[in-house]
Amino acid sequence: SQTIHQWPATLVQPVGSPLSLECTVEGTSNPNLYWYRQAAGRGLQLLFYSVGIGQISSEVPQNLSASRPQDRQFILSSKKLLLSDSGFYLCAWAGQMIGVFGSGTRLTVV
C-alpha cells in the first residue's frame, strides 16, 4: 500500500530564516504530488503540484517554492520566511480516485 512520510511534525522558525519541508512516498511510482497550506480549522489551499521529476506547477504566487529532485520526493522551501507563512502544511499523493496525505507540519514563524 502507498504511504507518505512528511517531516518534521512541528517547526518554529524566526522571520527571515530559510525553510525546507520534505515529503517522500512509498509504494508507488511516478505519483502526482501536492503541497497544501491550511489555516486553523479551514480548507486546504493548494500551493504546488507535480506530475513528475522537475515538473512543478504553482497555484498561488508567494514566498515559497517547491522542487521534485526524485520521483518520490517533494520538497517545499523558502529562502526567507514571513510571519504570514505560519500554518499547517500538508503533502499529498494522488492516484486514480484516491488521495493520501502525510501527517502534516505545523510551522510557526516568530
Residue nearer to other proteins on the CB measure, 11 or 106: 106
In the complex, least distance from residue 79 CB atom to other proteins, rounded to whole angstroms: 26
**Near other proteins in 26-55, by CB under 8 A:** 32, 34, 36, 41-44, 46, 49
Residue selected from 72, 78, 102, 107 as contacting other proteins according to rule CB under 8 A:
102
How many CB atoms are closer than 10 A to CB 65? Answer: 15
x/- letters, 77..96, toward other proteins (CB under 8 A): -----------x-x-x-x--
Do β-strands 19-26 and 3-7 pair in parallel, antiparallel, or remain unpaired? antiparallel
As a whole number of angstroms, the distance between CA 58 and CA 104 comes to 19
5 with 89: CB under 8 angstroms?
Answer: no
CA angle 59, 63, 64 (to 5 degrees): 60
CB of 16 to other proteins, least distance (A): 27
Q: What are phi and psi of 85, to 5 degrees?
A: -80, -10
Could you list the residues that contact other proteins (CB under 8 A)? 6, 32, 34, 36, 41-44, 46, 49, 59, 88, 90, 92, 94, 97-104, 106
